[in-house]
Amino acid sequence: MITGLSHVSIVVPDLAAAAEKLEKIYGLVVDEAKVNDEQGVRLAYVNLPNARIELMEPARSDSPVARFLERNPKGGIHHFCLTVDSVDSTAEVLAERGARVLGEGKRQRNVHGERIAFVHPADFLGALVELEEHHG
């Protein structure tokens, strides 16, 4: 079911400025930005040995990330992501145990084409959790 930690996602108002700050202060290198049209975000990753830090900025004004920035203008942690062996079977087990998996069974994919789903924050100690199907 749950196999590891993939990433922690931080919403930022300016992806380039955030990348510059992480490199200048922490020596972290941020990969090239990509766009996930389905989610309405531009994102880039810091690759660490055991997980990634995902930086996201809105790609359009109606995205959930844009709404997050309206409430948190300086940005902040948006979610963390757990890797799972199967999004479908994990979502089914979690639902049977009382957790709400968002999206009504709609098949979502991340920028890398991997299957994803989200668990409602109220069902994971107040934190939004992304489930990411990862093989290998």
Whether 90 and 131 have beta carbons less than 8 Å apart is answered as: yes
State the virtual CA torsion across 95, 78, 30, 39 in degrees, nearest 10.
60
E-strand stretches of the chain: 2-11, 34-36, 41-47, 52-58, 76-84, 101-102, 108-109, 115-119, 129-133
So which residues are the catalytic ones? 130
Q: Contact, 129 vs 119, CB < 8 A? A: yes
